Amino acid sequence: MDSKGNNSNSLNPGASIITAPMMTLVSTTGSATAILKADGTVVYTYAVGLSTGITEGTYTSTVDFTSLTAVAASVATPTYKVGTGTTAVSNADVLKSIVALIASINKQIQALQKLILKR
C-alpha cells in the first residue's frame, strides 16, 4: 500500500537493507529475489530479541529498498517499543497496598459494628 492506502505498483523492490535493533529476521531475506504478493507487498517476519536476550527500550529501524530509494523513494524509519511484559514492583509498594487494604477492611468492620449497635 502506498501512503494514501492505494495498492502499490507491482514493481519488484529489489534488494533491501533493513536494520531493526533488538529484532532478528526469521524469514524473507533482503535478497533481490524477494517475492511480491498479489497486492504488491513483501512480508518480513522478525522475532523480538537477540540471542543475548531482550533489552527494553524504544528503537528506530531503517528500511531501505536501495533500487527504489535511488530513484524516488525514501528510507523508512519506523519506531517501536520492546519490553519484557513485566513490571517492577518494590516491596514498599506491596506493603503500602497491604496497609491500605487493612485500613479499608477496618473501616468496613467499624461501619458494621455501628449498624449492629444501633439495633
- pTM of this structure: 0.54
* Cα–Cα distance, 15 to 70 (Å, whole number): 12
Same domain as 111, residue 74: no
Q: Domain span at residue 105?
A: 88-119
Q: What is the mean pLDDT of residues 50-76?
A: 84
Same domain as 97, residue 70: no
Same domain as 50, residue 23: yes
Give kind and range of the element (H or E) at residue 112: helix 91-118
Same domain as 54, residue 3: yes
pLDDT above 80 (res 110):
yes
* Cα–Cα distance, 112 to 106 (Å, whole number): 10
Same domain as 62, residue 21: yes
Question: Which residues lie below 8 Å from residue 14, measured CB to CB, with a gap of 6+?
Answer: 32, 34, 65, 66, 67, 68
| Cell representation of residue 36 | 511480491
Predicted confidence at residue 21, as pLDDT, reads 92
State how many domains the chain has. Answer: 2
